Amino acid sequence: MSTLSSHEQTKAALYAELELKNFLGVEGIAVDPKIFRHLDLGGTVQEQVHTLFEMDHEQHVSFAFPVGFSTPHGLRIGFRWDNRADHRITYDDGVFHLREREKILFPVEFHRRPDYYKLQTSDGTKVKTVAPYSRDGVVNVAYSNECALKDKGVDCLFCNANATKDAYGERDGVFWKNPRQIGESVAAAYREFEGFPRRHVNLTGGFIPERREVDYYLDVAEAIQEHTGLEDFNGTAVIGIPRDLKVIDKYKEAGFRTIAMNIEVWDRNIFKVICPGKITHCGDYDHWLAALEYAVGVFGRGRVRSGIVGGLEPKQSTLEGVEALAAKGVVTLTGAWCANPGSALEGHRTPLPEWHLDMAKRSTAILRKAGFTFDQIYDLTPAPNFLVHDIYRIEDGDFNDLGVFTDGETRVAAPQNENEPALTA
């Protein structure tokens, strides 16, 4: 008989599922795409929409995949296709299962498609291509896949934004989103999520000229405010470091609650090799650090994010970066590097799953020790499904009596902003 309390047993079960989630995120999931003809994909089940990066390990222009599924205890797993993987989704007698080789692990419940995916903006654009849903009331707007660094031959070596546009542009509607389309789409999503514990929008895209970027972001913020009726719409502006740091003030004045500037690599020498355009376009390594520190002075501690791609440098270097930035008030995410198809590093190998799990646990411990809260992490991230979110919730006991993560996705009818035109289905 187990001597663990029910709370300890729940934590142990959740950490076991976290280990599986991490493994699947690194190694991918095999599947015969034909089995999804039995799934109401694009109907009741949410489909993938490629608006920035291809995160599957193979491109699949001729068929669609579900965006993800949940574990028995409520951890959300993003679907990443890799037919070399030991884990596979199968369809057996009317039930989808996750298997490890021949062993059935559990029945798969795919993520529900949000209702606003049925809508179109006032100019006929599909809302789902403007503001894809990331769960728990978060939408991630990629205004463009075009990155000027690619044309200049100084693209980040791990990035496949331009390749994703070339592959999926016609199928997934990859295009430059204008402020009105974004304002209407975010408003549609926010109406559906009225009554959720939280709502958040992350605005990101490829590198564009600095002056054009700031003007565009200000126009988008104004459009979101107009269409949602919210002065504080809980938005994160993901930008390149401006040459003039005072430009950062404009994003705060425009209404963004948080800001993100992704340094990608902590080691300054590896940074030069992996991200040459971030130096030529924005400024040197020291300027990046100065900008992050300046942003904390503008937005506040815990309201500035930077990303380090876990696996592009030695682990200790990344952890030193997480700790150094945390001391300055910056939250650093260390998501696992995926050798994305179409990137310069396609075909390379990310570290093993256990490497990434250890990274997630140790970097989260640094963030918790620095005093950053779950709400701050939520407000800064493009999706609430990183391992750091799960670890926070496990450690904070954010699960019900059945040991399942508390579900914030209860939908309630919400009144429409009187300034917002009805969108068409």
Are β-strands 103-107 and 258-260 bridged in parallel, bridged antiparallel, or unpaired? Answer: unpaired
- Contact of 184 with 141, CB cutoff 8 Å: no
- Contact of 403 with 13, CB cutoff 8 Å: yes
| pLDDT tens digits, one per residue of 269-287 | 999 999 888 888 888 999 9
Instruction: State how far the alpha carbon of 119 is from the alpha carbons of 51, 98, 143, in Å.
Output: 17, 32, 18
- Contact of 147 with 159, CB cutoff 8 Å: yes
Instruction: State how far the alpha carbon of 324 is from the alpha carbons of 261, 266, 306, 388, in Å.
Output: 15, 10, 12, 18
- Contact of 45 with 112, CB cutoff 8 Å: yes
- Contact of 164 with 100, CB cutoff 8 Å: no
Cα pseudo-dihedral 77, 171, 140, 415, rounded to 10: -100
Amino acid identity at 272:
K
Write out 272-324 in H/E/C secondary structure. HHHCHHHHHHHCCHHHHHHHHHHHHHHHCCCCEEEEECECCCCHHHHHHHHHH
Whether residue 331 is predicted with pLDDT greater than 80 in this model: the reply is yes
pLDDT band at residue 346 under the 50/70/90 scheme: confident
Domains of the chain with bracketed CATH:
28-110 (no CATH), 115-395 (3.20.20.70)
Average pLDDT of span 159-176:
72
At 349, is the secondary structure helix, strand, or coil?
A: coil
What are the percentages of helix, strand and coil residues in the chain, rounded to 5?
A: 40, 15, 45
Q: Tokens at residue 307, please? A: 């990303």
* Torsion sign, CA atoms 319, 322, 324, 326: negative
Instruction: Kindly state the DSSP code that residue 45 receives in the 8-state scheme.
Output: B
According to DSSP, the residues that pair with 140 across neighbouring strands are 202
- Contact of 78 with 55, CB cutoff 8 Å: yes
* Angle between the N-to-C axes of helices 387-395 and 6-27, in degrees from 0 to 180, rounded to the nearest 10: 180
| pLDDT tens digits, one per residue of 66-105 | 999 999 999 999 999 999 999 999 999 999 999 999 999 9
Average pLDDT of span 47-67:
83
Amino acid identity at 96:
F
pLDDT band at residue 210 under the 50/70/90 scheme: low
Contacts with 61 (C-beta within 8 Å, 6 or more apart), sequence order: 167, 168, 171
pLDDT band at residue 415 under the 50/70/90 scheme: very low
Q: Provide the pLDDT for residue 407.
A: 53
Q: Tokens at residue 308, please? A: 């380090």
Q: Which residue has the tokens 């990066």?
A: 53
What distance in Å separates the CA atoms of residue 382 and residue 363, rounded to the nearest whole number? 18
- Contact of 257 with 379, CB cutoff 8 Å: yes
Instruction: Kindly state the DSSP code that residue 178 receives in the 8-state scheme.
Output: P
| pLDDT tens digits, one per residue of 219-265 | 999 999 999 999 999 999 999 999 999 999 999 999 999 999 999 99
Q: Provide the pLDDT for residue 170.
A: 67
User: Of 207, 145, 170, which is closest to residue 340 (Cα–Cα)?
Assistant: 145
Whether residue 171 is predicted with pLDDT greater than 90 in this model: the reply is no
Q: Provide the pLDDT for residue 402.
A: 57
The least confident of 50-54, 142-146, 194-198, 236-240 is 50-54
At 150, is the secondary structure helix, strand, or coil?
A: helix
Across the beta sheet with 109-110, the strand order is 76-78, 68-70, 109-110
- Contact of 224 with 183, CB cutoff 8 Å: yes
What distance in Å separates the CA atoms of residue 307 and residue 319, rounded to the nearest whole number? 12
Number of DSSP helices (H) and strands (E) in the chain, helices first: 14, 13
The pTM score is 0.91
- Contact of 295 with 261, CB cutoff 8 Å: yes
Q: Which residue has the tokens 């008989």?
A: 1
Distance between alpha carbon 159 and the CA centroid of its chain, in Å? 15
In the chain, the percentage of residues whose pLDDT exceeds 70 is: 91
